[in-house]
Amino acid sequence: MLRDCLSGEVLLAKSLLSATIADLSALLVEVRDALPVPISGVVSDGQDSIRKAVAQTFPGVPHQQCHFHYLREAARPIYEADRHAKKELKKRVRGIRKLERQAEGNDSIEAEIVRGYCAAVRSALTDDGRPPLTAPGLKLHERLEQIAASLDRIAVPTGCFSGRLKRLRQLLRKGLEETAMLWPGVRVAYRWVKRVARLLANEQQRPAREVRRQLSKILSQIRQAARRSVEPEVSRQLRHFVKVTKSYWPGLFGCYTSADLPRTNNDLEQLFGSHRYHERRASGRKVASPGLVVLGSVRVIAGLATRLRPEEGLVLGEGYVQTWRQLRAGLEKRRRARRQQRRFRRDPVTYLRKLEELALQLSLLS
pLDDT digit string, tens, across residues 298-341: 777 777 776 666 666 666 677 778 887 887 887 888 788 878 88
Over 80: is that where the pLDDT of 105 sits?
no
Positive or negative, the CA dihedral 139, 141, 145, 148 is: positive
Over 70: is that where the pLDDT of 156 sits?
no
- Residue 217 Cα to chain centre, angstroms: 28
- What is the percent of the chain with per-residue pLDDT over 70, rounded to a whole number? 94
Pure H helices in 264-347: 266-283, 292-308, 320-346
Q: What is the CA radius of gyration of the chain?
A: 28
pLDDT band at 214 (very low <50, low <70, confident <90, very high): very high
6-38 in b/e form (b: 16+ CB < 10 A) is eeeebbebeeeeeeebeebbebbeeeeeeeeee
> 44 by DSSP, 3-state: which?
strand
Q: Which runs of E-coded beta strand occur in the chain?
A: 2-3, 10-12, 42-44, 63-65
Strand bridging mode 42-44 / 63-65: parallel
Spatial contact of 229 and 238, defined as CB atoms under 8 Å apart: yes
pLDDT band at 272 (very low <50, low <70, confident <90, very high): confident
d(Cα 102, Cα 146) in Å, to the nearest integer?
A: 23
Is the entire prediction scored with pTM above 0.85? no
Higher pLDDT, 256 or 301: 256
How many CB atoms sit inside 10 A of residue 114's CB? 22
Average pLDDT, the chain: 86
* pLDDT attached to residue 83: 92
Q: What's the Cα-to-Cα distance from 74 to each of 191, 194, 197, 265, rounded to whole Å? A: 13, 12, 11, 17
